[in-house]
Amino acid sequence: MSETTAGSLKIRIGFLLAGLSLAASSYFFLSHSQESPNSRKSIATSRDHLPASAEENIAIAPTTVDEPANENLKPVIQNTLAETSPAKVSTVQIEMAPQVIPEKNPETLKTSKEEETKLLLPKIDFWAWAGLGVNYTSSSQTVEGFSELEFGRIKGPSTMLRAGFYVSDNAGLELGFKNTPGEAKSSESITVNDGEYNWLTMSAEALYRPVEKVKHSEWTWRLGLQQHQMPFLHVDGANEVSMVETSMTNLSLGFEYKKQLKKRLRLEWLMRYQYPIAASNNEGTNFKVSPTVSFDGSLGTAYQLSENTFIGVYWYGQYHDFDFKYQTPSTAEVSGRQSLFFTNFDLRLGMEF
């Protein structure tokens, strides 16, 4: 073969190989740019078998599987898709842990209830108290045309009694009695006749306590009358006075407050305002008083000895300040101002039911 023929053959074989290579490349590109019908069918079948819960929890992105150029790869791809069938797809769900509320210890609740009960005031329907103590009494008087008189002394024993009951849940009645001794002694400039006396106080009061009690405490309203047999300095002469008895009836209005401090210990506070509505004097006629201020009150603690027995320590005081005017057969009209005050400490024993 000549050299010209051999060169021409080599050129032809080169063009043929180049054409085959171009055809193979084009076929490979086209086969990978189109979706395989078999893969579509497999994926659609897999989605149809997914349960509703799996579709809600898992979002499957569209997937395309190209038809392989090599027919031997088809069984491998089909087996791989079969392994990812809905039967083997695991669904991952995140569940919120239930809120755990700790249970209250019954023993703790029982203890709290017992402590609450310890501080509750018992419901009382009947009570009676008696007391014994010592007191300080002072008296001062100013009379026109006469020097000012002042007396004060510690004396005892003072006594008290009180008892009451409730006729309903919030309405009751209480009666009281108090005896406070005192004495006024003569001085170098003033002679006092019959200086010893007993200040007697009797009371009758209607009580009202609200049905709904404040926690651990109790309020009681009081309205009633107080009858006083109190000392009065009567002017007999220029430097001579007598301690005489004056009767005064006062309208009283006040309150009582009780506070449970501990299981067996409570606090009691009493305050009353008094207004004179009648007065008389056994030594004078037309005895009249004009009130300025009058009140009484007490403060103390009571300790429970047993279920119905109590013992207590109390402070009690009364104060009266008033203008007076009277006339006697032997003297002209006398007018002035008198102040009376006493304070005492009592040891009391009571029964409550």
Q: What is the pLDDT of residues 135-162, one digit of tens each?
A: 999 988 888 777 678 888 899 999 999 9
Vertex 167, ends 210 and 297: CA angle to 5°? 60
- In this predicted structure, what is the pLDDT of residue 297? 97
The residue that leads in pLDDT, 341 or 83, is 341
Residue closest to 261 by CA, chosen among 317, 207, 312, 298 = 312
- In this predicted structure, what is the pLDDT of residue 139? 87
Task: Name the CATH architecture for the domain at 120-352.
Answer: Beta Barrel (2.40)
Q: Please report, for the chain, the start and end positions of each structural domain, with discontinuous segments joined by +.
A: 3-88, 120-352
Average pLDDT (34-45) is 44
What is the DSSP track for 270-337?
EEEEEEEEEEEETT-EEEEEEEEEEEEEEEEEEEESSSSEEEEEEEEEEEEEEEEEEE-TTS--EEEE
pTM for the whole structure: 0.64
The alpha carbon of residue 291 and the mean position of all alpha carbons in its chain are separated, in whole angstroms, by: 40
Is the confidence at residue 78, as pLDDT, over 80? Answer: no
Q: For residue range 41-71, what is the model confidence (pLDDT) as tens digits?
A: 444 444 444 444 444 444 444 444 455 445 5
Q: What is the mean pLDDT of the chain?
A: 76
- Beta carbons of 121 and 266 less than 8 angstroms apart: yes
Question: Rounded to the nearest 5°, which phi and psi values hold at 72?
Answer: -70, -15
pLDDT band at 27 (very low <50, low <70, confident <90, very high): low
Is the confidence at residue 203, as pLDDT, over 80? Answer: yes
| Residue matched to tokens 């300790």 | 303
- In this predicted structure, what is the pLDDT of residue 327? 78
- In this predicted structure, what is the pLDDT of residue 257? 95
What is the C-alpha to C-alpha distance for residues 138 and 230, in angstroms, rounded to an integer?
12
Is the confidence at residue 320, as pLDDT, over 60? Answer: yes
Is the confidence at residue 206, as pLDDT, over 60? Answer: yes
Is the confidence at residue 16, as pLDDT, over 80? Answer: no
Q: What percent of the chain is modeled with pLDDT above 90?
A: 41
pLDDT band at 35 (very low <50, low <70, confident <90, very high): very low
- In this predicted structure, what is the pLDDT of residue 14? 59
Alpha helices, DSSP H, located in 67-183: 74-83, 106-118
Taking every pair of Cα atoms in the chain, the longest distance, rounded to a whole number of angstroms, is 189
Q: Are strands 191-193 and 240-260 parallel, antiparallel or unpaired?
A: parallel
Residue closest to 31 by CA, chosen among 72, 73, 76, 67 = 67
Average pLDDT (312-323) is 96
- In this predicted structure, what is the pLDDT of residue 288? 87
Q: For residue range 256-308, what is the model confidence (pLDDT) as tens digits?
A: 999 999 999 999 999 999 999 999 887 666 788 888 899 999 999 999 999 99
- In this predicted structure, what is the pLDDT of residue 44? 42
Helix 74-83, helix 37-48: angle, nearest 10: 10
What is the C-alpha to C-alpha distance for residues 195 and 1, in angstroms, rounded to an integer?
177
Average pLDDT (309-314) is 98
Preceding peptide of 231 cis, ω within 30°:
no
DSSP letter, residue 60: P
DSSP-based three-state secondary structure for 244: strand
Is the confidence at residue 230, as pLDDT, over 80? Answer: yes
What is the C-alpha to C-alpha distance for residues 160 and 203, in angstroms, rounded to an integer?
11
The alpha carbon of residue 109 and the mean position of all alpha carbons in its chain are separated, in whole angstroms, by: 19
pLDDT band at 175 (very low <50, low <70, confident <90, very high): very high
Residue 307 gets the label, from left (phi > 0), alpha (psi -120 to 50) or beta, of alpha
- Least trusted range by pLDDT, from 75-79, 90-94, 145-149, 289-293: 90-94
